[in-house]
A and B are shown apart, each in its own frame.
Chain A
Amino acid sequence: MSTAAAATASAVTTSTLATGKSQDRNLTSLVFLGALWFSLFFGVVVLFALIVDTAISGADRFDKELFTQYTQSFDPERAEALAATGRDPKDLSAAYTGFKSGIVGSVILMITTALMAIPLGVAAAVYLEEFSSKTSRFSRIVEVNLQNLAAVPAVIYGMLAASLMAAVGAERGIAIGGAVALSLLILPVVIITTREALRSVPDEIRQGSLALGATVWQTTWRQTLPSAVPGIATGTILGLSRAIGEAAPLVMIGFGAINFAPELPYITSKIEAFPLEIYDAAQSSREIVRQAASAGIIVLLAMILGMNALAIIIRNKFQRSW
């Protein structure tokens, strides 16, 4: 009997602690609790209000034209009048403007960025974590610089990539230029998260592998890296979902408005990026175009949330515990 009572008592204590409902109901603790709740909900409420407001203002434009039409800026009445000249008002009127070039462009940009940033970032992290001596001066300098690079504003990477592209004589506004800027932007994030993932693989696994006669390279390639995949994938996707929303570096690269489909090979084709197109539409003098911008924001948000969800799924699916 007494053990059951003790168990109940401990369960009660645990549950009250967990919910923050202690017996201690004096003023200070209530104020403190209030402050905690406020902090918790402040960001969430603001974000929620922002999303709802944007969704409402873009409500009229969640149609297929948003995805199938290029940017169109003609005054709707003028566009109707132009029908007399045999042109289709639907191809001109701002009321049917869409983000086709931006969505296509951002997908190309993300794939190119991933292809550049992931191998580079993972390789750098593997070297730092598995091969370099942790105490050497060189490692420490690299370490500090990585942390600093992660905090550099995105537009700086844009300028760097722009001068890089100019130095090799590449055309302005092509996909590879934007991908270089975005890769540089997310590289520190990829390296740091990959290192965390590698660090969380227990040393016993490495030692076991080495003890069985594997070389350091074999150990890394066959044991450590596969075990770290969930962490690496999560970090990389989060990095990419940061990159997809970036506009500033792409302005520096010279991305402009286009209304044609990119051609193979996509990396040297001129493209437009989704966030830039939204920024443009949001500054329009026409209410109807600003509504399309709101709808575009929600679509971009959905893309980012989708990528984050993918990161969570990958993490949960491949997570192991030792």
Chain B
Amino acid sequence: MNSTTIRRALVPGVAALALLLTACGGEDDKGDDNTDGGTGSGDYSLDTTVEGEVAVDGSSTVYPMTTAAQELMTADGSAIQVSVGQSGTGGGFEVFCAGETDISDASRPIKDDEEAPICADNGIEYTELLVATDALTVVVNPELDIDCLTVDELIALLKPGSKATNWQDINPEFPDEEITGFIPGTDSGTYDYMASEVVDGDAEEPALRNDFESSEDDNVLVTGVAGTQGAVGFFGYTYFEENTDKVKALEIDGGSGCVAPSAETAQDGSYSPLARPLFIYVNNASYNDNAAVKEFTDYYIANLETIAAGAAFIPLNETDYAATQAALAGIGS
């Protein structure tokens, strides 16, 4: 295939892909008049002459998303040198607010009381961009005859000091099986989110019960839940999607009926309270002064849906995507 043919194939190709991805995401087609990718499947013309360095660090949850952006941009012929670290959301903000990185990946918003003041002290102005949604997925061993948990039951199961050792302790209608738990390590953003947003939000130091097995490697959690009768665990939606044959996802009842985790329920907000937003924070000064940072950020946001799909994340819905685009447009001004 010579380059003219590639170029000719490009235009219908992009349009076809936009349709394909939208179909895969299962959105209702509000954006029919907008076939060039309503949620970011890339009509952006990358300027391959831009060179320079972009330093990214932060959340290990967002890491696969940002590396996917980096890989896609390099595959498109850019010479921009992007390095992506994964020292965690907190560790990322630490170096971001010291001005050492241009972009910080985050699986939670910046803390107004602890982290934002440090940024302010150092004169770092930043912009928060929502890039994807994750659905924390509560999974059980496929043999276990439970399909839905209410949020109260989830709290009873996971709260610090919980004495529930049998599923019947949580709900008498549940089967008589011993509970074994496999949960993420305390350093992970996933643990943080479950503890502070769902289970133990009122406590000074939100935590989960400490008699469950924990691991920083989600593959270990999958193996544990798949191999133990009556086992329960939770992790990001990506790991569930790759292991649907090994573990069973529970529906969550947040007050308005049982909702299964999926791309659609996370996008439309009905998978509550376990759908969590994933962000990148962009240093405004870097964006305005460093052409490489601007090019990378613009490219990232323009191709958000392609990147999210390639890295197995849940893309934004159209409202959120429009908000992200508006926030991006606001950095330059």
Q: CB-CB < 8 A to A75: which residues of B? A: 309-312
Q: Give the interface segment out of B77-85, B149-157, B161-169, B281-289.
A: B77-85
Q: B75 contacts A88, CB within 8 Å?
A: yes
Which residue of chain B has the shortest Cβ distance to A94 in the bound complex?
B310
Which residue of chain A has the shortest Cβ distance to B243 in the bound complex?
A285
Q: Give the interface segment out of A175-183, A201-209, A255-263.
A: A255-263
Q: Give the interface segment out of B11-19, B272-280, B324-332.
A: B11-19
Q: Give the interface segment out of A12-20, A76-84, A211-219.
A: A76-84
Which residue of chain A has the shortest Cβ distance to B239 in the bound complex?
A285
Q: A86 contacts B71, CB within 8 Å?
A: no
Q: CB-CB < 8 A to A270: which residues of B? A: 53, 81, 83
In the complex, how many angstroms separate the beta carbon of A269 from the nearest chain B beta carbon?
Answer: 9
Q: Give the interface segment out of B62-70, B126-134, B196-204.
A: B62-70
Does A197 reach chain B (CB closer than 8 Å)? no
In the complex, how many angstroms separate the beta carbon of A277 from the nearest chain B beta carbon?
Answer: 11
Q: Mark B220-256, 1 if CB is under 8 A from A, else 0.
A: 0000000000000000001101110000000000000
A285/B20 contact (C-beta < 8 A), A82-B306, A88-B75, A251-B87 known: no
In A225-276, the 8 Å CB interface with B consists of 251, 254-260, 270
Q: A256 contacts B83, CB within 8 Å?
A: yes
A78/B242 contact (C-beta < 8 A), A71-B71, A172-B55 known: no
Does A95 reach chain B (CB closer than 8 Å)? no
Does A87 reach chain B (CB closer than 8 Å)? yes
Q: CB-CB < 8 A to B312: which residues of A? A: 75, 285
In the complex, how many angstroms separate the beta carbon of B279 from the nearest chain A beta carbon?
Answer: 18
A258/B81 contact (C-beta < 8 A), A75-B310, A84-B9, A285-B242 known: yes
Q: A257 contacts B239, CB within 8 Å?
A: no
- The answer for the CA separation of A173 and B101 in the assembled complex, in Å, is 11
Q: B13 contacts A256, CB within 8 Å?
A: no
Q: B74 contacts A70, CB within 8 Å?
A: yes
- The answer for the CA separation of A280 and B66 in the assembled complex, in Å, is 14
Does A73 reach chain B (CB closer than 8 Å)? yes
In the complex, how many angstroms separate the beta carbon of B104 from the nearest chain A beta carbon?
Answer: 12
- The answer for the CA separation of A232 and B311 in the assembled complex, in Å, is 48
In the complex, how many angstroms separate the beta carbon of B150 from the nearest chain A beta carbon?
Answer: 28
- The answer for the CA separation of A78 and B311 in the assembled complex, in Å, is 9
**Secondary structure dominating the interface of B:** helix
- The answer for the CA separation of A82 and B68 in the assembled complex, in Å, is 13
- The answer for the CA separation of A254 and B88 in the assembled complex, in Å, is 11
Does A286 reach chain B (CB closer than 8 Å)? yes
Q: CB-CB < 8 A to A282: which residues of B? A: 217
- The answer for the CA separation of A87 and B73 in the assembled complex, in Å, is 10
Interface residues on A, range: 35 or more
In the complex, how many angstroms separate the beta carbon of A140 from the nearest chain B beta carbon?
Answer: 40
In B39-94, the 8 Å CB interface with A consists of 42, 53, 55-57, 63-64, 67-68, 70-72, 74-76, 79, 81-87
Q: CB-CB < 8 A to A91: which residues of B? A: 71, 74-75
Q: B20 contacts A81, CB within 8 Å?
A: yes
Does A287 reach chain B (CB closer than 8 Å)? yes
Does B115 reach chain A (CB closer than 8 Å)? no
Q: Mark B1-41, 1 if CB is under 8 A from A, else 0.
A: 00000110110011011001000000000000000000000
- The answer for the CA separation of A173 and B57 in the assembled complex, in Å, is 10
- The answer for the CA separation of A82 and B72 in the assembled complex, in Å, is 10
Q: A86 contacts B10, CB within 8 Å?
A: yes
Q: CB-CB < 8 A to B100: which residues of A? A: 171-172
Q: CB-CB < 8 A to B82: which residues of A? A: 258-259
- The answer for the CA separation of A82 and B18 in the assembled complex, in Å, is 10
Q: A256 contacts B219, CB within 8 Å?
A: no
Which residue of chain B has the shortest Cβ distance to A89 in the bound complex?
B75
Does A283 reach chain B (CB closer than 8 Å)? yes
Q: A74 contacts B68, CB within 8 Å?
A: yes
- The answer for the CA separation of A256 and B53 in the assembled complex, in Å, is 13
Which residue of chain A has the shortest Cβ distance to B16 in the bound complex?
A84
- The answer for the CA separation of A280 and B95 in the assembled complex, in Å, is 21
Which residue of chain B has the shortest Cβ distance to A91 in the bound complex?
B75
In the complex, how many angstroms separate the beta carbon of B86 from the nearest chain A beta carbon?
Answer: 7
Q: CB-CB < 8 A to B83: which residues of A? A: 173, 256-258, 270
Q: A254 contacts B16, CB within 8 Å?
A: no
Q: CB-CB < 8 A to B218: which residues of A? A: 283, 285
Q: B95 contacts A254, CB within 8 Å?
A: yes
Q: A92 contacts B75, CB within 8 Å?
A: yes
Q: CB-CB < 8 A to A171: which residues of B? A: 55, 100
- The answer for the CA separation of A256 and B81 in the assembled complex, in Å, is 12
In A66-116, the 8 Å CB interface with B consists of 70-75, 78-79, 81-82, 84-88, 91-92
Q: B84 contacts A256, CB within 8 Å?
A: yes
Which residue of chain B has the shortest Cβ distance to A76 in the bound complex?
B310
Give 11 A-B pairs besides A73-B71, A173-B83 with Cβ atoms closer than 8 angstroms. Answer: A74-B310, A75-B312, A82-B306, A84-B9, A84-B13, A91-B75, A256-B83, A257-B83, A270-B81, A282-B217, A284-B64
- Top 9 A-B residue pairs of the complex, sorted by shortest distance between their CB atoms: A256-B85, A74-B310, A84-B13, A91-B75, A256-B83, A86-B6, A285-B242, A257-B84, A78-B310
Q: Mark A residues whose CB is within 8 Å of B.
A: 70-75, 78-79, 81-82, 84-88, 91-92, 171-173, 251, 254-260, 270, 280, 282-287, 290
A sample of 22 inter-chain contacts (CB < 8 A) reads A70-B71, A73-B68, A74-B311, A75-B309, A84-B9, A85-B14, A86-B9, A86-B13, A91-B75, A92-B72, A172-B95, A172-B101, A254-B95, A256-B83, A257-B63, A257-B86, A258-B81, A259-B82, A283-B218, A285-B218, A285-B239, A285-B312
